Amino acid sequence: MTEEYVILVDSQGEFQGLQEKMAAHKEGALHLAFSVLLYRNTPSGREYLLQQRAMHKYHSGGLWTNTCCSHPRQHESIEQAGIRRLAEEMGITDVNALTDIGHFCYHATLDNQLFEHELDHVLVADASEISVVPNPEEVMDYRWWKEEDIKQALVSQPELFTAWFSQVFAFAIK
């Protein structure tokens, strides 16, 4: 397996260099990331495709989160990276465009003595007609959640979700 690098940025998103991914997560270095959240409109309201992270992921295993997330590679746009990771994590190859609806910066202490310190771009797309074939190395489960069910679960059981998900969801429902 080749080493993966993240793009280090300052709080304005300006390039600061590259760092090996695990080293950045151990140090809590600010780096560029993205979170994809696919949705569909149904007669009973909007639904979002969430995944439950595989238990053996390097952090946040077993927690529910947005459709997929990761880090862009050097010389790869945020949108290209999102489309790449949709295929790698969820086996979704029929989404050809994502819309960047904004970004936020957060810092979170995770399990396994790791930290997330990310400038996270939120990417969305209407995905009413997709097929999902999740990668078991990445995803334990997935399902469409009604918007109201997510709102209720974030209040009553926030421990079910990743550290960044509530902020990603807040962007999506603006």
Its pTM stands at 0.96
**118 given a catalytic annotation:** yes
The verdict on whether residue 56 carries a ligand-binding annotation is no
**69 given a catalytic annotation:** yes
The verdict on whether residue 47 carries a ligand-binding annotation is no
Q: Where are the domains of the chain?
A: 5-167
Q: Check 47, 79, 118, 138 and give the catalytic one.
A: 118
Q: What is the pLDDT of residues 50-108, one digit of tens each?
A: 999 999 998 999 999 999 999 999 999 999 999 999 999 999 999 999 999 999 999 99
Give the angle subtended at the CA of 173 by the CAs of 167 and 174, to the nearest 5°. Answer: 90
Q: What is residue 173's predicted lDDT score, i.e. its pLDDT?
A: 95
- pLDDT over 70, % of the chain: 99
Give the domain 5-167 fold: Nucleoside Triphosphate Pyrophosphohydrolase (3.90.79)
Q: Check 68, 69, 79, 138 and give the catalytic one.
A: 69
- Cβ–Cβ under 8 Å, residues 30 and 119: yes
